[in-house]
Amino acid sequence: MSDHSSPEQFKKDIRVYMTIFGALLVGTALTVGLYYVHIPSVFWTITIALVVASVKSFLVAGYFMHLISEKKVIYATLATTAFFFVALMGLTLWSMNDFPAMTTVNGK
């Protein structure tokens, strides 16, 4: 088990944060630079913009918000979200043709 208050660990953490900060600066410069590049396809423009934004958001959430080390909590939240999404979609499909009594559907 590593000591999080040791000078060596502190230097290592600072190095990681400075590397991530540099990568975010490069990503921001890339975003600004790509603004001036004419890409004729809207599909590729949006795809490139989303890839750059996704990488930058992963770096911020993963390292600055320390989510990269919280895998169990992330997977539990993802599984819960997926479960409720599937359950709500299932309820929607199940009740799609279930109309209350004494109502009309399409004028019938």
Question: How do residues 3-52 score in pLDDT, each as one tens digit?
Answer: 667 888 889 989 999 999 999 999 999 999 999 999 999 999 999 999 99
Would you say 30 and 48 are in contact if contact means Cβ atoms under 8 Å apart?
Answer: no
Local structure of residue 95 (DSSP, 8 states) = T
- The pLDDT, as a whole number, for residue 83 is 97
DSSP codes joined into one string, 1-64:
---TTSHHHHHHHHHHHHHHHHHHHHHHHHHHHHHTS--S-HHHHHHHHHHHHHHHHHHIIIII
The pLDDT value recorded for residue 66 is: 83
Q: Which residue has the higher pLDDT, 88 or 68?
A: 88
pLDDT score for 71:
85
Look at residue 2 in the predicted model and tell me its pLDDT.
56
Scan for tokens 């990269």, then name that residue.
68
For the entire predicted model, the pTM comes to: 0.62
Average pLDDT of the segment spanning 80-98: 92
